[in-house]
A and B are shown apart, each in its own frame.
Chain A
Amino acid sequence: MKKIFAQLFILSLTLGALTSCEDVVDLDIPSGDPQLVVDGWVTNQATEHTIRLTESAPYFDNSPAKPVLNATVIVTDDKGKVFTFKDLKNNGYYVWKPASASDSLGRIGGTYTLNVKFGTEEYRATTKLNRVPKIDSMTYFFDKLPVAPTDGSPQEGYKPEFFARDPTGAGDCYWIKSYRNGKYYNSASNISTAFDAAFSPGANSDGLIFILPIRQSVVPQIEFALEKDTIKVELLSVSLEAYYFLNQVRMESTNGGLFATPPSNIFTNVTNVNPNGRKALGFFGASGVSTFQTVIDAKKAKPKNG
């Protein structure tokens, strides 16, 4: 919503000869003590899974995050299964590898608890792995921007759209990730989330086919897929907590302009077992994953608004 709004605003400003502008400036701000950061996500896919442990740093310190080494990282599920994560390369990436090609960590309906022991502190995070519908199809249509983008990116191309139906029963949350020729659309402003088939809990959209702006969130609003591109969409089920967490990541990553909200700290589901112990940051999540992949073929493009 905010995005559409911002675009309209920019449109009216440009035409109204007003000259809003943004400059990168230096800012002198104090920093705080470093904290443990947990970056972990497990799925029902039969692949290896990684949980990354680092330390937070002063905000403008753009050197790579300092890894947290020698921690014990274990995930247990609600059936008592234990998955041990090992820092194989001694770089803070703790990895669990499936024993066989069909061995997966996650299971739809399972509950997963992460346990991290680091020095004298012990941290815990729990999440549920929810159901996910399959993606039925993908289509695309040809579109063109009225003006050529100034950064030289294409002015015209294909807009892919995925079709999936939210299962009946309110409260399903999703994260839609997409890839063009294997490259993940990784800008935080492009994080696409859904609650049932629409944007938010108030939308009463249970059981619908994902609504339109979400269906088209495969490529960012002013970008295109080109002929012969391979476009892949992943639909991830996420917990309600994760849905709010991801929304906040998107918001706090680009929170400027006339309609910025007051910055607030991003929610974490990682807690110290000792309530008075040092706090941690980050999130541990779990997802069921559906994927769909297509190769753009001009002959198969649908008409716009078709």
Chain B
Amino acid sequence: MKQILTSLVFLLTLTYGYGQERKTVSGYIKDASDGESLIGVSVYVREIGNGTVTNDYGYYALNLPTGTYTLVFNYIGYEKIEKKIELTADLKLNLELKDESLKLQEVVVKATKEDENVKNIEMSVNKVEMKTIRQMPALLGEVDLVRSIQLLPGVTSVGEGASGFNVRGGNIDQNLVLLDEAPVFNSSHLFGFFSVFNPDAIKDVKLVKGGIPAQYGGRISSILDVRLKEGNSKKTEINGGVGTIFSRLSYERPFAKGKGSFIVAGRRSYIDVLAKPFLSGDLKGSRFYFYDFTAKANYRIDDKNTVYASGYFGRDVFGADFGFDWGNQTATARWNHVFNNKLFMNFTTFYSNYDYGLESDRNNTSKTGDKFKWNSNIQTWSLKPDFTYYLTPNNTVTFGGQYINYTSKPGTALAISSGESRNISLDARYADESALYIGNEQKVNDWLSFQYGIRYSHFRNLGPGTNFEFQEIVKGERKIPVSETKYETGVINEYGNWEPRFSTKIELSPSTSIKASYNRTVQYLHLLSNTAASSPLDVWTLSSKIIKPQIADQVALGWFQNFQDNTYEASVEVYYKDLQNQIDYVRNSDLLLNKYLEGDLLFGNGRAYGAEFYVKKNRGKLTGWMSYTLARTERKIEGINNNGWFPARFDKTHNLSVVGLYQLNERWSFSTNFAFNTGTPASFPTNRFEWGGWALPQNVNDSRNASRIPSYHRLDFGATLKSKKKLFGKGQGEWVFSVYNAYNRRNPFSTYVQQNEDNNLQTEAVRYSIIGSVIPAVTYNFKF
């Protein structure tokens, strides 16, 4: 550590000019129409041929020798602004950029500086603007963030309707899904059909698949950074819509004379309301709905201090006499503080909780009756100071830390049988995770940049708790508990890990660059799930003496090229990822309410490699992208597949996506998606044997995922019509039409074998499709 710090300081001083007096120009950049801060605006200093970009809060700072400069503020889709400044003393320069699309009627695919693809050191990063996501054809017309990012290179899922997404060979629990910096544990409504993010409240989405900077940690495959809108700080705005599944409403407005603003947004499914008159008997008390509520407020205290508060609450509720509900809650408070013009701090504190509950016999209130009640939750809170030090235009140092506290109650359950009750709860588990990091983004010269950093993470299991020991009798089979050691307080078990991060960019020409990166990431929290698609019942489980932290090492190399004056951007990236301490399960594993759960887990390694090709058109009436990924994801677990490598459940060799958006005129726009994926791996029996009157499957090779189901492909269309007439004189309305799975393909989610329903001795194969037909939908949106 000391050596690294020394060399870091050395590198910094190397490029730091001495002798001349230096001053700083800094400020916030916002959108002129609604006051939303703009992330990633390019601030270019013409005289030195160098510059910076605004951070996640729209803040920038440039430390320059005194003198006269021309600053160019540039952000795609917005009018460029040039400012001449006389830098004799520290200068505050806040600006508002005007939306260019109002003028040009162009569709904007991404909101960053135009040549960022080539110039920025970031690689393996995809940003998709909400505008784009909103225009893409969506299942049942419901704009969905997670479904949209599945069309990006390197992103797959186990299939339609499955919860979550897989990035470069990582499980769904290896993605850090952040909503305003608070982790979201379950990103799905209705098992996996819709994501929990209300599109009306989202401002910006970024998916980081590789070259992960030192400030991020805690998950090993990717970061999905979702930022909420701050709320219109210019005027009151109401947005809403009625779709096939959700009805939505959001309200935003300024307060304190524009020094603050807020947004509140809610969605609720309404099918239950429509169905109510048709339900009778046992279904009368049926509950089946899901909703979410998102809110955010910000207040600028003065030029140096801004505070933000945001929260999310979502819930899915199903059942009648038997009830089942689950949901996430998050709350984030942030304080942006500018210490001096060069040092920027964001202090975040968040709370995040995921819980579910099951209850049988809800209608039975008698004391002698029967009941089963079960709750499970994972709860975290965290303190997270992050500092950015704008040392020189060529060196931006980031440093900070994070403390996360975990409380996991994997199962709190009560069973009442004929009036006798039993508490069958599992003990709560406690842990914390601390991390410190430092990194620097260094521009060595016009064509060479580095980003390097290191993160140290430290995880502790805290008392009260129990360390279990198990004995393995047969490899791959359930391990038998042999001892339990109980601790009342103190540290039960701990892990510490260094996580080095490194990226470099070599610019070969103004439109071409090569980038390379290496990063190590570590994860101490694991979602245990042995089903094809993860279910809301799956439990987030902390590392323990037995469950070692998951570790990933990834190297990536990429070629980045822009064409025709940045109209097109293209990239080719290859990656290799090595994964340690991957989790699998014994047959017949019992993952819920099992005190000896760890005896049912198997551990091993993983590897993932692939090539991603990506072309995107940023300007013109026709915009969109094409992405193709050639990839392999494998696992090697002792006791499975004869201890040999086998493809992971979500391994897809070929993955092609095409997204096209076409703006015909001011009123009409059209869109289309096409996706093609190799079928996911499957295991089939070779033989059958008769036992107890049943024909049972058996695989003589004991292999895992040796076959594949047929490939998946799908075409969707969408169209948006803006209504001509103003709504009540001033509002805007639009109709969104969509056709999902346009050529009516019955794409298999899985193929499996079973006994015929009427004859237990007859075997058959079944193709299971989640969506078996074409799905048209209409949505109406309005805005005041």
Question: Which residues of A approach B to under 8 Å, CB–CB?
Answer: 1, 4-5, 8-9, 11-12, 15-27, 29-35, 37, 39, 41, 52, 54, 56-62, 64-65, 144-146, 163, 186-188, 197-198, 200-205, 208-213, 244, 247-249, 251-267, 281-283, 305
B770 at the interface (CB under 8 A from A): yes
Binds A, one of B6-14, B341-349, B418-426: B418-426
Q: CB distance B415 to A198 under 8 Å?
A: yes
Residues on the A chain within 8 Å of B535, using CB: 5, 258-259
Q: CB distance A22 to B281 under 8 Å?
A: no
Q: Taking the nearest CB of chain B, how far is it from the CB of A33, in angstroms?
A: 6
Q: CB distance B587 to A265 under 8 Å?
A: yes
Q: CB distance B687 to A209 under 8 Å?
A: no
Q: Which residue of B lies closest to A62 (CB)?
A: B762
Chain A interface main SS type: loop
**Could you list some 7 contacts between A and B, CB below 8 A?**
A20-B770, A27-B753, A34-B687, A54-B690, A200-B590, A209-B418, A258-B533
Given the interface contacts A203-B593, A262-B530, does A61 sit within 8 Å of B751 by beta carbon?
no
Q: CB distance B588 to A18 under 8 Å?
A: no
B594 at the interface (CB under 8 A from A): yes
Residues on the A chain within 8 Å of B754, using CB: 253-256
Lowest 4 A-B CB distances belong to which pairs?
A: A32-B700, A264-B587, A27-B765, A21-B772
Given the interface contacts A20-B769, A202-B424, does A261 sit within 8 Å of B281 by beta carbon?
no
Q: CB distance A56 to B161 under 8 Å?
A: no
Residues on the A chain within 8 Å of B372, using CB: 211-212
Given the interface contacts A59-B684, A305-B364, does A258 sit within 8 Å of B161 by beta carbon?
yes
Q: CB distance A15 to B417 under 8 Å?
A: no
**Best-buried of A25, A31, A59, A209 by chain B (most CB within 10 Å):** A59
Q: CB distance A39 to B691 under 8 Å?
A: yes
The answer, among B283, B366, B649, for a CB contact under 8 Å with A262, is: B649
B701 at the interface (CB under 8 A from A): yes
Residues on the A chain within 8 Å of B750, using CB: 256-257, 260
Residues on the A chain within 8 Å of B57, using CB: none
* Interface membership of chain B positions 669-711, coded 1 if the CB is closer than 8 angstroms to chain A and 0 otherwise: 0000000000000011111111111111111111011010000
Q: Which residue of B lies closest to A282 (CB)?
A: B691
Given the interface contacts A202-B595, A305-B364, does A31 sit within 8 Å of B417 by beta carbon?
no
B771 at the interface (CB under 8 A from A): yes
Residues on the A chain within 8 Å of B593, using CB: 200, 202-203
Residues on the A chain within 8 Å of B752, using CB: 255-256, 260, 263
The answer, among A4, A22, A29, A200, for a CB contact under 8 Å with B686, is: A29
Q: CB distance A32 to B771 under 8 Å?
A: no
A35 to B700, CA, bound (A): 9
Q: CB distance B417 to A209 under 8 Å?
A: yes
Q: CB distance A203 to B531 under 8 Å?
A: no
B322 at the interface (CB under 8 A from A): yes
B541 at the interface (CB under 8 A from A): no
Q: Taking the nearest CB of chain A, how far is it from the CB of B250, in angstroms?
A: 23
Q: CB distance A39 to B698 under 8 Å?
A: no
Given the interface contacts A255-B752, A256-B754, does A202 sit within 8 Å of B594 by beta carbon?
yes
A305 to B418, CA, bound (A): 11
A205 to B773, CA, bound (A): 46
Residues on the A chain within 8 Å of B699, using CB: 32, 263, 265
Q: CB distance A32 to B686 under 8 Å?
A: yes
The answer, among B530, B585, B697, for a CB contact under 8 Å with A252, is: B697
Q: CB distance B751 to A146 under 8 Å?
A: no
**Best-buried of B596, B755, B773 by chain A (most CB within 10 Å):** B755
Q: CB distance A16 to B271 under 8 Å?
A: yes
Residues on the B chain within 8 Å of A58, using CB: 686-688
Q: CB distance B283 to A146 under 8 Å?
A: yes
Q: Taking the nearest CB of chain A, how far is it from the CB of B579, in angstroms?
A: 18
Given the interface contacts A249-B692, A256-B768, does A1 sit within 8 Å of B592 by beta carbon?
yes
The answer, among B162, B411, B686, for a CB contact under 8 Å with A30, is: B686
Q: Taking the nearest CB of chain A, how far is it from the CB of B427, in angstroms?
A: 12
A208 to B417, CA, bound (A): 7
Residues on the B chain within 8 Å of A256, using CB: 750, 752, 754, 766, 768
A22 to B363, CA, bound (A): 34
Given the interface contacts A1-B592, A57-B688, A253-B694, does A19 sit within 8 Å of B322 by beta carbon?
no
A201 to B426, CA, bound (A): 12
Residues on the B chain within 8 Å of A39, using CB: 690-692
* Interface membership of chain B positions 129-160, coded 1 if the CB is closer than 8 angstroms to chain A and 0 otherwise: 00000000000100000000000000000000
Given the interface contacts A20-B770, A31-B686, A197-B417, does A25 sit within 8 Å of B765 by beta carbon?
yes
Residues on the B chain within 8 Å of A253, using CB: 694, 696, 754-755
Q: CB distance A266 to B696 under 8 Å?
A: yes
A8 to B754, CA, bound (A): 22
**Best-buried of B191, B417, B693 by chain A (most CB within 10 Å):** B417
Question: Which residues of B approach A to under 8 Å, CB–CB?
Answer: 140, 161-162, 190-193, 244-245, 271-272, 275, 279-283, 286, 288, 318-319, 322, 324, 360-361, 363-364, 366, 369-370, 372, 411, 415, 417-418, 420, 422-424, 426, 530-533, 535, 537, 585, 587-590, 592-596, 649, 683-702, 704-705, 707, 746, 749-755, 757, 760-773, 775
Given the interface contacts A20-B768, A21-B769, A24-B765, does A263 sit within 8 Å of B685 by beta carbon?
yes
Q: CB distance B697 to A25 under 8 Å?
A: no
A290 to B423, CA, bound (A): 29
Given contacts A56-B698, A57-B688, 4 further A-B contacts (CB under 8 A): A20-B768, A54-B690, A201-B594, A205-B417
Q: CB distance A259 to B531 under 8 Å?
A: yes
Residues on the B chain within 8 Å of A8, using CB: 318-319, 322, 324
A22 to B769, CA, bound (A): 6
Residues on the A chain within 8 Å of B319, using CB: 8
Q: Which residue of A lies closest to B741 (CB)?
A: A19
Q: Which residue of A lies closest to B425 (CB)?
A: A204
Residues on the A chain within 8 Å of B589, using CB: 261
A92 to B140, CA, bound (A): 57
Residues on the B chain within 8 Å of A59, using CB: 684-688, 697, 753, 763
A277 to B760, CA, bound (A): 31
The answer, among A4, A24, A201, A255, for a CB contact under 8 Å with B590, is: A201
Q: Taking the nearest CB of chain A, how far is it from the CB of B393, in angstroms?
A: 52
Residues on the B chain within 8 Å of A61, using CB: 688
A58 to B252, CA, bound (A): 65
Q: CB distance B161 to A262 under 8 Å?
A: no
Given the interface contacts A59-B688, A261-B530, A283-B691, does A205 sit within 8 Å of B415 by beta carbon?
yes
Q: CB distance B766 to A249 under 8 Å?
A: no
A199 to B323, CA, bound (A): 19
Q: Taking the nearest CB of chain A, how far is it from the CB of B270, in angstroms?
A: 11
Q: CB distance A23 to B766 under 8 Å?
A: yes
Q: Taking the nearest CB of chain B, how far is it from the CB of A168, in angstroms?
A: 13
Q: CB distance B691 to A37 under 8 Å?
A: yes
A257 to B423, CA, bound (A): 32
The answer, among B687, B691, B707, for a CB contact under 8 Å with A35, is: B687
Q: CB distance B701 to A32 under 8 Å?
A: yes
Residues on the A chain within 8 Å of B771, using CB: 18-20
Q: CB distance B363 to A305 under 8 Å?
A: yes
Residues on the A chain within 8 Å of B279, using CB: 146
Q: Taking the nearest CB of chain A, how far is it from the CB of B267, in angstroms?
A: 15
Q: CB distance A25 to B767 under 8 Å?
A: yes
Residues on the B chain within 8 Å of A12, using CB: 190, 288, 318
Q: CB distance B686 to A15 under 8 Å?
A: no
Q: Taking the nearest CB of chain A, how far is it from the CB of B507, in angstroms?
A: 47
Residues on the A chain within 8 Å of B588, using CB: 244, 247-248, 251, 264, 267
Q: CB distance A204 to B683 under 8 Å?
A: no
Residues on the B chain within 8 Å of A34, using CB: 687
Residues on the A chain within 8 Å of B746, using CB: 21, 23
A235 to B530, CA, bound (A): 31
The answer, among B324, B420, B753, B773, for a CB contact under 8 Å with A19, is: B773
Q: CB distance A24 to B685 under 8 Å?
A: no
Q: CB distance A146 to B282 under 8 Å?
A: yes
A263 to B704, CA, bound (A): 8
Residues on the B chain within 8 Å of A266, using CB: 696-698
The answer, among A65, A258, A282, for a CB contact under 8 Å with B749, is: A258
